[in-house]
Amino acid sequence: MDKLDIDDMPGARADLLCFLVATVAASHTLTYEWRVDHLIESCRIWLARNVVSMNWLDRVLLGQLALKIAKRELKEAGIAVRQRDVQALFTSEMGLNHASTVVQKMMKLCRESLSPDPPFV
């Protein structure tokens, strides 16, 4: 099966970014470490699960953006990922739980971060 380029799927880049932010924030909540290895593996898993391709440089840049959002912007936006929230971020298949209000807030932040014209604060 041929893989689609991530930019050929509307909303896929924001979904991947949100998945990476949720993964790295959950990992930090549980381990108190910013685990880049979890970020890399999560990106690989998401791309394989969604049968999507993305060039390596875009993966690196999106991973850096995910870390930046998780480390700083979640807190600035009033989004806290607590241990009791971690399980609710994901479905039983380890996809994003879009019904979670925390995930919905993360997704909004991720879409804004990918927007060519970020909103003024």
**Structure confidence by residue, pLDDT tens digits, 54-108:** 999 999 999 999 999 999 988 888 888 889 889 999 998 889 999 999 999 999 9
User: For the chain, how many helices (H) and strands (E)?
Assistant: 6, 2
Confidence of residue 117 (pLDDT cuts 50, 70, 90): low
pLDDT at 120: 53
Q: What is the pLDDT of the chain when averaged over all its residues?
A: 90
Which parts of the chain are beta strand (E)?
A: 4-5, 52-53
For 112, residues 6+ apart whose C-beta sits below 8 A from its C-beta are 118, 119
Per-residue pLDDT of 41-61, as tens digits, reads 999 999 999 999 999 999 999
**Residue 99: predicted pLDDT:** 95
Contact, 110 vs 21, CB < 8 A?
Answer: yes
Question: Which candidate, 112, 116, 81, 98, places its Cα nearest to that of 19?
Answer: 98
pTM of the model: 0.90
- pLDDT of res. 85: 85
- 4-5 and 52-53: which strand pairing? parallel
Beta strands in 15-66 (DSSP E): 52-53
Closest CA to 105 of 7, 22, 40, 1: 22
- Which pLDDT belongs to residue 69? 95
